[in-house]
Structure 1
Amino acid sequence: MHENYDEALLLELVKNKQFRALRAHLDEMNEVDIAEFLDELEPDQQVVVFRLLPKDVAADVFTYLEDSEDQEKIINALSDKELREVLDELYLDDTVDIIEDMPANMVSRILRNTDASTRSQINQLLKYPEDSAGSIMTTEFIYLHPNATVEESFARIRKVGLDKETVYTCYVTQNRVLLGVVTVKTLLLSPYETKIKDIMETKVISVTTHEDKEDVAQMFSKYDLSALPVVDGENRLVGIITFDDAMDVMEEEATEDFEKMAAILPGDKPYLKTSVFETWRSRIPWLLMLMLSATFSGMIITHFEGALAACVVLTSFITMLSGTGGNSGSQSSVAVIRALSLGEVEFSDMLAVVWKELRVALLCGVCLAAANFVKMMLVDRMLMHNPQVTVPVALVVCLTLMCTVVCAKIVGCTLPMAAEKIGIDPAVMAAPFITTVVDALSLLIYFGIATEILGI
């Protein structure tokens, strides 16, 4: 919770139905904080407090509510007139975002309470694929004519700017074709009689409606943009994507990647709002798959049961080897997945990535093997007086450690790149999956080296 408002005081005012005092406090609060406060209330209390808000504030608060179920409950409680007032204050892309998470009957009610023009634009935006630029754009932008003067353009901005998502960046079009872009700063610093075509920037960075929204979000960071125009196949301006929409995409994609890397099916609800059953359902498929795949490690150990019986001390180092291998693979996979998501590497860079990770693995492997050899001789043999820890045994463990680190890092960097090449999210090839693969490899290497050196 933020410390710029007293949650306990507000809850007390709601409980005692002191709505006049509550409204005074709400008037001083930011819309984001009001939305967080509403999340703490019971459904019937949420509706009561929501009705206290001015309609323009209520619309902003509505978009900041984290849980679509809270939005749905509020919509159910509002009359058609109240709902229409809230929808009139919402930007078009926010309305579309809300509709996408609503059941069919709720969508019908929302569309019934919008005018024909807005309804047509909403339906158009809903037709775009979920992961496309078109699905996150808004059609509420300011466009100027190239032959208009600065004075005429200011008059237009004042006339139509109130309902637009941004007024700082204006787009220059003729017959809807995107010609250039001009900022309000440029307009303010130019003489009134100047033509827009003489001051507009013609090198405009734009995207098409079907471009992947994650790639679009990365462009905001790459080019330091506040807004990005979206065009169709004939370079006609159909919408813009603003920085806040790009940030939402980045947060959504980062959360999804974290969940996949932790072997959890992605969800769209806040943690505390997700039921125990839903949480179980998102985790159990991966756990089942990883559990079954881990049986390969058990089969390998069973196969070499005789070798373990001949040299029991080898058993005590299996966990360390598997753990180090898994950690090494995870380091490489996380680094490569991040590089892939930022566009720093692609599949064609596979050899360069493998060559780099191979050198890193050799350095890491040598350091770990040397440290482990010293530890086994000093701690295991001398301090703990374990006569089974001989130099040949230590050599087996250290050679295995070095080979395992090399294999783990190669697997960790190649699997995510291969996954992206065949159209699978690279985040899937993260810690749990790679650890399972490396566990099996480390055991095969371990017993192979032990057989050769110890003759078991």
Structure 2
Amino acid sequence: MSPIIEVLKETLKRAIGKRDYKTIEKIIIKTHKGDIAEVFKYLKKEERKILMLTLIKSNIQKAANVFQDLEEDIKSELLRNLSSKDLTNLLNNLPVNEIVKIIDHIPDDVRDIILKNLEKEKIEELEELEQLLTTNEDNIASIIREDYLSINENITVQEALEIVKNTDKEIEILYIYVVDDKNRLIGVVSLKELIASPGNILVKDTMTRELITVSINATKEEAIDIFKRYDLYILPVINDEEELVGVIYIEDIIDVISEKTTEDFFKMAGAKEEELFYQDKTFKIAKLRMPWLLTATFGEFITAIIISFFSFTIEQFLPIIFFLPMVAALSGNISSQAAIITARGLKEGRLSE
């Protein structure tokens, strides 16, 4: 834990313990969302609830931003413990793609709570997104963001800069996308280029027409490959009509890679990611692990039966018994190594399927 997070944690714990909400609000206003999200990991269950409630009541948008940065088990815990009213306020300030990510990684009971508390418009957007994801579960739709800036090609640079000035401060503007009258993506201009250009020329005369895009029908793997190949920070998403529908940020791609890695580790261990939401429920975790453990036990039982058929032979070569555990352990290690190398090779394209 860094010294800054340590100080922030202790300060918040004292304020929360005293129920000093004014101090908590002051700290929230001055502190970056990423640091607040980091502190959540070191707070107790009740302390996390109080901090999130204070966030929701004092700055709902910041609460939503902090929530997106939290670890999945903490998200699930908060979703279970917030009231319907607070849950409604929080969820309705989250982007639809974040709600989809939450729904994809939480138990059914928490999912039901979410769907009951969404606004009608959010539910409609969610249904459209889920319909797209039903066609392909690995579709990029769940990581597309709408916090970008697009402008028409026929306005002047001066008019474009006025639009930039009036844009929501939450939107990070490094690149501005240029569209035609039919909202088709035709170019891009950086904020630096826009500022350096004469104010009376048209945006289309200063924009770059060569840009990298990805189709809304693409998979997350394809998006990851594009980010790697072109070393991108942000990637515009277009539909079949070449209309701009959103963007994907590098941080979302990093999250996808992390999720896939975590998923692979769980599969290799014969466990389920759902365990993260039941850390304090031993029997629930045991139930989730039981299928894999029973399968392994059955396999070992078959091995024992096969060995028993050769008991007479083994009796004649008694020293062999001492090597059985070593052979069993080595075979397990070799198979694990082979599985990891093969899976990684397929993932990186070094091996063909």
The TM-score normalised by the length of structure 2 is: 0.81
Aligned pair 1:327/2:333, yes or no? Answer: yes
Residue 216 of structure 1 deviates from its aligned partner by 2.0
Aligned pair 1:292/2:298, yes or no? Answer: yes
Residue 259 of structure 1 deviates from its aligned partner by 0.5
- What are the Cα deviations for residues 123-172 of structure 1, in whole angstroms up to 9, with x where unaligned? 4334321431112212332222333333332223333x317743212222
Q: In the alignment, what sits opposite 2:62?
A: 57
Q: In the alignment, what sits opposite 1:125?
A: 129
RMSD, aligned α-carbons: 3.1
Residue pairs, 1:293-442, within 5 angstroms: 293-347=299-353
1:188 to 180, 195, 199: 195
In the alignment, residue 97 of structure 2 is paired with which amino acid?
Answer: D
Q: In the alignment, what sits opposite 1:238?
A: 245
Q: In the alignment, what sits opposite 2:165?
A: 158
Residue 228 of structure 1 deviates from its aligned partner by 1.5
Contact 1:92/1:140 (8 A) holds in 2? no
- What are the Cα deviations for residues 196-223 of structure 1, in whole angstroms up to 9, with x where unaligned? 3344333332222232224323432332
2:125 and 2:176 map into 1 onto residues whose CA distance is: 20
2:283 to 269, 277, 282: 277
Aligned pair 1:45/2:50, yes or no? Answer: yes
2:77 and 2:39 map into 1 onto residues whose CA distance is: 16
Contact 1:2/1:33 (8 A) holds in 2? no
1:76 and 1:89 map into 2 onto residues whose CA distance is: 14
- Aligned residue for 2:117, secondary structure, equals helix
1:152 and 1:298 map into 2 onto residues whose CA distance is: 79
CA spacing shift, 1:123–1:301, aligned 2, 3 Å: closer
1:3 and 1:138 map into 2 onto residues whose CA distance is: 33
In the alignment, residue 33 of structure 2 is paired with which amino acid?
Answer: E
In the alignment, residue 22 of structure 2 is paired with which amino acid?
Answer: R
2:171 and 2:96 map into 1 onto residues whose CA distance is: 9
Contact 2:53/2:86 (8 A) holds in 1? no
- What are the Cα deviations for residues 41-61 of structure 1, in whole angstroms up to 9, with x where unaligned? 417634553356433422322
Contact 1:136/1:245 (8 A) holds in 2? yes
Contact 1:91/1:165 (8 A) holds in 2? no
Residue 307 of structure 1 deviates from its aligned partner by 2.3
Q: Count matched residues.
A: 337
Residue 251 of structure 1 deviates from its aligned partner by 1.5
Residue 335 of structure 1 deviates from its aligned partner by 1.8
2:208 and 2:305 map into 1 onto residues whose CA distance is: 66
Residue pairs, 1:86-105, within 5 angstroms: 90-98=94-102, 102-104=110-112
2:19 and 2:275 map into 1 onto residues whose CA distance is: 33
Q: In the alignment, what sits opposite 1:212?
A: 219
1:265 to 263, 272, 276: 272
- What are the Cα deviations for residues 157-190 of structure 1, in whole angstroms up to 9, with x where unaligned? 333x317743212222221222233322332343
Residue 270 of structure 1 deviates from its aligned partner by 5.4
Contact 1:72/1:106 (8 A) holds in 2? no
Aligned pair 1:76/2:76, yes or no? Answer: no
> Unaligned 5+ residue runs, structure 2?
none
Identical residues among aligned pairs (%): 26
In the alignment, residue 330 of structure 2 is paired with which amino acid?
Answer: T
CA spacing shift, 1:88–1:322, aligned 2, 3 Å: closer
Residue 70 of structure 1 deviates from its aligned partner by 0.3
Q: In the alignment, what sits opposite 1:253?
A: 260
CA spacing shift, 1:223–1:15, aligned 2, 3 Å: same
Contact 2:185/2:244 (8 A) holds in 1? yes
CA spacing shift, 1:108–1:314, aligned 2, 3 Å: closer
2:114 and 2:93 map into 1 onto residues whose CA distance is: 18
- Structure number with larger C-alpha Rg: 1
In the alignment, residue 84 of structure 2 is paired with which amino acid?
Answer: N
Residue 111 of structure 1 deviates from its aligned partner by 0.8
Contact 2:156/2:202 (8 A) holds in 1? yes
- What are the Cα deviations for residues 426-456 of structure 1, in whole angstroms up to 9, with x where unaligned? xxxxxxxxxxxxxxxxxxxxxxxxxxxxxxx
Residue 6 of structure 1 deviates from its aligned partner by 4.5
Contact 2:278/2:284 (8 A) holds in 1? no
Contact 1:32/1:61 (8 A) holds in 2? yes
2:290 and 2:67 map into 1 onto residues whose CA distance is: 34
CA spacing shift, 1:342–1:201, aligned 2, 3 Å: farther
- Aligned residue for 2:82, secondary structure, equals helix
CA spacing shift, 1:271–1:14, aligned 2, 3 Å: same
- What are the Cα deviations for residues 212-259 of structure 1, in whole angstroms up to 9, with x where unaligned? 224323432332212222222232222211222222211111111111
> Unaligned 5+ residue runs, structure 1?
348-456
In the alignment, residue 181 of structure 1 is paired with which amino acid?
Answer: V
The TM-score normalised by the length of structure 1 is: 0.64
